[in-house]
A and B are shown apart, each in its own frame.
Chain A
Amino acid sequence: MIDYIRLEVRRTLRDKGFVVFGIGMPVVMYLLLTNLAGSSGKEAEAWKVTAMVGMASYGALGAALGTGNGLAEDKKLGWLRQLRITPLSPARVVVGRGLSASVTVLPAIIVVLLLGALVNGIHLAAWQWIGLVVLLWLGTTPFTLLGLGNGYRLSAQAAGMVNAGCMMVLAIIGGLWFPAAAFPGWLQEISRWTPSNRFADLGWSVTAGHGPSAGTVLVLVAWLAAFGAYAVYAYRRAARTA
C-alpha cells in the first residue's frame, strides 16, 4: 500500500493543474488579500493571521477534494478495474487513496503558513504553529471523503466540475476568503454550520491561543460521518458497475 500511496502522491505533484491551482492560488490570494490594502495597525495584523488560516484551509480543502478528480480520471481510464485484478485488495486501494490525499494537502498548508511567518511577519508560539499544521491536516479528512465520493459516483468531467463547485461554495460560505463576520446575519448563521467554516475554526482557535471548541469538533465529526457514508455508498455503487 505504501507503494500505491507513493505512486499517487507522485502523480498528483506532477499534475501542473494541481500545482498551479492547488498551491499557487491560495498563495497568490493570500499575498494579494493581505498586502494590497496597504493598511497597517492592529486590524491589519489580525487580518493577516485570519487570512493565513483561511487560505491554508482553502488550499487544503482544494487538494483534498481534488483527490476525487484523479480518482474519477482513473475510473475512466479503466485503471480502477485494472487494480481489481492485482492482488491489492479494493479496501487497500480506497485507504491508499485517502492517505495519499492526506499527503497532498500538506504543501498548500505549509507554504501558506511559511509565507505568513516569513513575508507577513506573523509571530506565533511554537505550539501554535505545530497545532495549526496538525489540526488543519487532520481536518481535511471530511473533504477527502467528499472528493472520493464524487470521484467514485461521477464521470471524470462531472467530478471535476462538482468538486470545483464544492470548493468554491465551501470556501466562500465558510468564510475562508472573506471573513464571515462581514456576511449578513442569516448567512453568518449558515456559515457556522458548514464543514469548511468549522475546519478553518480549528486553525483560528489555535491562533487565538486556545484549543478548538467542543461544538466545532462535533459539527466536523458529523460532517465526517455524513461524507464518509456518502463515500462508502459511492464506492459500493461504482464497484457494482465499474
Chain B
Amino acid sequence: MAFSGVVKTYGEVRAVDGLDLTVDRGETVALLGRNGAGKSTTISMLLGLLPPTSGEVRLFGGTPEQAVRQGRIGAMLQDGRPIPRVTVRELITFVAATYPKPMAVSEALALAGLEELAGQRVDRLSGGQAQRVRFAVALAGDPDLVVLDEPTTALDVEGRRDFWQAMRAYARRGNTVVFSTHYLTEADENADRIVVVDHGRVVADGSGETIKRAVGGALVSFDLAGGPSDGLTELPGVTSLEIRGDRALLRSADSDATVLELARLGLVRGLQVAPASLEDAFLTLTSSRTDAADGGPAVSGTGASEGAAAVGEGALR
C-alpha cells in the first residue's frame, strides 16, 4: 500500500496535505493523531470511498477500487453499527460469501471471540460485542489488508482489552493491519509501527521506541526565575525548548550533558529530569509551540506552523 503526495481538500481546509506513506505486507501499523488530524480522510481514500484531490493511492499494484472489487480489503469503518434483525452468524456468513476466498465462518467468529454469540441477534449485543462483530465483518473475507478506523472509540476498558486481544491474534497470522487511533497506548501496545499524523501530514514514523528517541530521550525542566531563555536550545543534547509559565522545558537526547551544562551556568532551580513518554513525544511532534531548530533523525518537520497554536494537551484524550 502506498500513498504518494496525497492531498484532500474540503473547500479551504486541507484535511490531508501531501501525505506519503508506504506499508509492506505483514505489518501492523497504527495511524496516530488527534481528532481532525486527517486519519479518517486518509482511511477513506485508502478504501476508495473518497477520491484524493491530488496525488495517488496504490494498493497491491492497482487502485483502491480494484483492490476492493477483488476482495483484498476488509474494513471496520468509524461510527458504523451492525444492522439489526440478523444473527451474528447470518451477518458474517453473508459478508464472507461476497469475497472470493473467505475464511471459514467459524474461524472468523473464533478470531473475534464471538463463538458463543453466533446465534444471537446483532441488535441485542453490548457495545463491545457489537464492535467485535464489526471486526469479524472486516476479516470474514480473509482479505490481504484489514483497515480499522478508530476501532475502540466508545468502548469501555474491558471491551477495549478484548478487542485488542482479538486484533493481535489476527495480526499474528501474518495479515497486514492498518488501524487509526488517538490513544497513544493503543498504538504503542498493538502496532509494530506508529505513523504520527498531524495537519494531514506524516510527522513521525517508526516504532514507539524510535519515536521516543527521535524526539529526545528525556525532559529536563527548571525554573527560569525571570531569567532569559535565549541560548537554551544551544545547550548540549537539547533538541527542543518549551516555556510553560516561568518554567523551561528542555527535551534532551543526552540529559546528563544538559544537566551538567545547566549546573555550570548556575541555572539549577527546581530541576527535574523525567524520561520522555510517548505522550511527550506525541505532543512535541504535533505541536508547533516548541522552538525546536530541527527535529530528530526520524522526524520530518513538525507540520504547518499556522493554526497549530490551537493544539493543546486538552485535544488528546
Residues of chain A touching chain B, judged by Cβ–Cβ distance below 8 Å, are 3-4, 7, 10-11, 14-15, 73-74, 77-79, 81-82, 84-89
When the two chains form their complex, are residues A86 and B98 in contact, meaning their CB atoms are under 8 A apart? yes
Please, which residues of chain B bring their CB within 8 A of the CB of A14? 85
When the two chains form their complex, are residues A74 and B83 in contact, meaning their CB atoms are under 8 A apart? yes
When the two chains form their complex, are residues A87 and B69 in contact, meaning their CB atoms are under 8 A apart? yes
Of B68, B71, B98, which contacts A3 at CB under 8 A? B98
User: Contacts A84-B68, A86-B99, A87-B68 given; 15 further ones with Cβ under 8 A?
Assistant: A3-B94, A7-B94, A10-B85, A11-B85, A11-B86, A14-B85, A78-B81, A79-B80, A79-B82, A82-B75, A86-B71, A86-B95, A87-B99, A87-B100, A88-B98
In the complex, whether B84 has a CB less than 8 A from a CB of chain A is yes
Contact A89 to B69, CB < 8 A, known contacts A10-B86, A77-B80, A84-B49: yes
Of A11, A84, A88, A89, which contacts B83 at CB under 8 A? A11
Chain A nearest Cβ from B83, distance in angstroms: 5
In the complex, whether B73 has a CB less than 8 A from a CB of chain A is yes
What mask results when residues 79 to 118 of chain B are scored 1 for a CB within 8 Å of chain A, else 0? 1111111100011001101111000000000000000000
Q: Which of A77, A82, A86 has the most CB of B within 10 A?
A: A86
How many of chain B's residues have a CB under 8 angstroms from any CB in A? 29
When the two chains form their complex, are residues B86 and A7 in contact, meaning their CB atoms are under 8 A apart? yes
Contact A77 to B82, CB < 8 A, known contacts A4-B94, A86-B95: yes
Give Cα distance in the complex from A78 to B77, angstroms: 8
In the complex, whether B70 has a CB less than 8 A from a CB of chain A is yes
Closest to B47 in A: A85
Chain B nearest Cβ from A180, distance in angstroms: 37
Give Cα distance in the complex from A82 to B82, angstroms: 10
When the two chains form their complex, are residues A78 and B80 in contact, meaning their CB atoms are under 8 A apart? yes
Of A7, A15, A81, A89, which contacts B77 at CB under 8 A? A81
Nearest 3 CB-CB pairings of A with B: A78-B80, A87-B71, A14-B85
Please, which residues of chain A bring their CB within 8 A of the CB of B71? 86-87
When the two chains form their complex, are residues A15 and B47 in contact, meaning their CB atoms are under 8 A apart? no
Please, which residues of chain B bring their CB within 8 A of the CB of A15? 85
Give Cα distance in the complex from A74 to B81, angstroms: 9
Please, which residues of chain A bring their CB within 8 A of the CB of B81? 77-78
Chain A nearest Cβ from B51, distance in angstroms: 10
Contact sample, A vs B, 13 pairs, CB 8 Å cutoff: A3-B94, A10-B86, A14-B85, A73-B84, A78-B79, A78-B81, A81-B80, A82-B75, A84-B68, A86-B68, A86-B71, A87-B71, A87-B141
Closest to B91 in A: A7
Please, which residues of chain B bring their CB within 8 A of the CB of A74? 83
Please, which residues of chain A bring their CB within 8 A of the CB of B204? none
Closest to A81 in B: B77
Give Cα distance in the complex from A77 to B79, angstroms: 8
In the complex, whether B7 has a CB less than 8 A from a CB of chain A is no
In the complex, whether B191 has a CB less than 8 A from a CB of chain A is no
Please, which residues of chain A bring their CB within 8 A of the CB of B47? 85
What mask results when residues 49 to 69 of chain B are scored 1 for a CB within 8 Å of chain A, else 0? 100000000000000000011
Chain B nearest Cβ from A75, distance in angstroms: 11
Closest to A13 in B: B85
In the complex, whether B137 has a CB less than 8 A from a CB of chain A is yes
When the two chains form their complex, are residues B83 and A10 in contact, meaning their CB atoms are under 8 A apart? no
What mask results when residues 116 to 132 of chain B are scored 1 for a CB within 8 Å of chain A, else 0? 00000000000000000
Please, which residues of chain A bring their CB within 8 A of the CB of B48? 85
When the two chains form their complex, are residues A77 and B99 in contact, meaning their CB atoms are under 8 A apart? no
Please, which residues of chain A bring their CB within 8 A of the CB of B83? 11, 73-74, 77, 79
Of B49, B73, B75, B90, which contacts A7 at CB under 8 A? B90
CB interface residues, B 256-313, toward A, < 8 Å: none
Chain B nearest Cβ from A170, distance in angstroms: 27
Give Cα distance in the complex from A112 to B116, angstroms: 41
Please, which residues of chain B bring their CB within 8 A of the CB of A85? 47-49, 68, 73-75, 77
Chain B nearest Cβ from A235, distance in angstroms: 16
Chain A nearest Cβ from B63, distance in angstroms: 13
Of B70, B80, B84, B97, which contacts A82 at CB under 8 A? B80
Q: Which of B48, B73, B85, B91 has the most CB of A within 10 A?
A: B85
